[in-house]
Structure 1
Amino acid sequence: MIHEVIPVGPLQCNCSILGDETSREAIVVDPGDDIPRIMALLAKHHLTVKQIVITHAHIDHIAGAHRLKQLTGAPILYNQNDLPLVKMMDVQAGWLGMPTPTVHAPDDTLDDGKLITITGLTGSILHTPGHTEGSVCLYLPDQTLLLAGDTLFAGSVGRTDLPGGNTNKLLSSIHDRLLTLPDEVTVIPGHGPRTTIGAERDSNPFLQ
């Protein structure tokens, strides 16, 4: 598997490009900004985007999705429970002092258990509400890889003081859906360095 992680935008959101070396099909997760850089990496690996997956509808994760869809024709997928956040995109833009991006309703919703598939690569959606109502993670068991969005970080957890946040839901999501995964699963958080499920189970102070 081809896997590029690039921090994009003013909040350095981790955007993942997942590609299959044989089919050259790709999934882009959380293209929050810096679409020219994302397109350059896709071109470098000769990849064709088949799906754009958004872990949650905060502006730093979703702002570039519409532009990427315009350039690639790929559908945008996120959980419909985050539509209230999309409707307040102008408010979110005000938080960061940036122009309001174009964000539409998803082409398909990411419900729990939904399979995300391209030729040669399959992952499943874990609905993990708490950071937002519609927060999801993408789990690729064959690659022992979890793209955790802003649900779980290295040594920390997602904030719950923004609209849609709920601390009890967040901790339940992490304990019930993520810490049940194997220790060796690599976690790519929405921001910051990668970690593993085992490391967070053992030492994350928010989960003890």
Structure 2
Amino acid sequence: MAEMRIQNLVLGMVATNCYFLLNADTKEMILVDPADEAEAIEEKVNAMGGRPVAVLLTHGHYDHMLAADSVRRTYQIPVYVHELDEAVLEDASLNLSGFWSSSFTMKADRLLKDGDELRLAGFEIRVLHTPGHTVGSACYYFPEQKVLMSGDTLFCHSYGRTDFPTSSMRDMQKSIRRLLQELPEDTAVYPGHEMSTTIAMEKRYNPLA
């Protein structure tokens, strides 16, 4: 099993977690939600001695992807997103950049579906479609490491907002319950904002459990 080292930076105007998932053996790295400040991301990559191979977006909102295009060009790597958030990435009114900052849109390189299995940086990754915050929100589960990148779906004792374009409270409830039912309790959960948690903790304290 590949050893994963996880670090993060809190970036952008709404304090978004950008994660750096390093394979300790090969030094290959996955970047999750490069929120903003591409130079800071590159400095972190260098400090960790990583070699990025892919960008995983948990959803298409601007505060999770403003640096994605720059990072993609710098490292010549693909950007992945769930297929239902393709339109969110490409529409400033849907990705909210038009409301909160300068309008920004981008295209992903690879579109994903629920149940897709990826092999990146030596890690097995399962794509879990978890709509609610956006129609194409997705979580990335690393079964060997028991790690979940939950984006703005599952937070510590909370969950993502459901009052945005393409959001759905009903879908959010279904998505949270799916995660809590399907994943092992000792899974470490790394959300798009605030602190990490575990599936066991959320089974006990999450209001949608």
Aligned residue in 2 for 1:120: 122
Following the alignment from structure 2 to structure 1, what is the Cα–Cα distance between the partners of residues 157 and 45?
31
1:200 equivalent in structure 2:
202
SS in 2 for 1:4: strand
Conserved in 2, the CA contact under 8 Å of 1:66 and 1:102? no
- Residue in 2 that maps onto 1:84: 87
Give 1:93's aligned residue.
97
Spell out the pairing of 1:17-166 with structure 2 (5 A cutoff).
17-89=20-92, 92-96=96-100, 98-104=101-107, 106-166=108-168
Q: CA deviation at 1:78?
A: 0.3
Mapped to 2, the partners of 1:93 and 1:135 lie a distance apart of 17
**Could you tell me how far apart the structure 2 residues matched to 1:81 and 1:41 are?**
30
Give how far 1:206 is off. 3.2
Asked if 1:173 corresponds to 2:166, the answer is: no
The alignment of Structure 1 onto Structure 2 pairs a total of residues equal to 205
Q: Conserved in 2, the CA contact under 8 Å of 1:183 and 1:197? A: yes
TM-score, normalised to structure 2, is 0.92
- Any stretches of 5+ residues in structure 2 without a counterpart? none
TM, length-normalised to structure 1: 0.93
The 1:14–1:100 alpha-carbon spacing in structure 2 relative to 1, beyond 3 Å, is same
Overall identity of the aligned pairs, in %: 33
Q: Which has the higher helix share?
A: 1
Which runs of 4 or more aligned residues in structure 1 lie more than 6 Å from their structure 2 counterparts after TM superposition? none
- Choose from 1, 4, 7 the match for 2:7: 4
Cα deviation, 1:112-167, whole Å, max 9, x if unaligned, reads 12223234322211111111111000111111111100001111111111011011
Root-mean-square deviation (Å): 1.5
Quick one: distance in 1 between partners of 2:82 and 2:23? 25
Task: Read off the aligned partner of 1:69 and give its amino acid letter.
Answer: R
Instruction: Determine the C-alpha separation between the residues in 2 that align with 1:140 and 1:103.
Output: 26
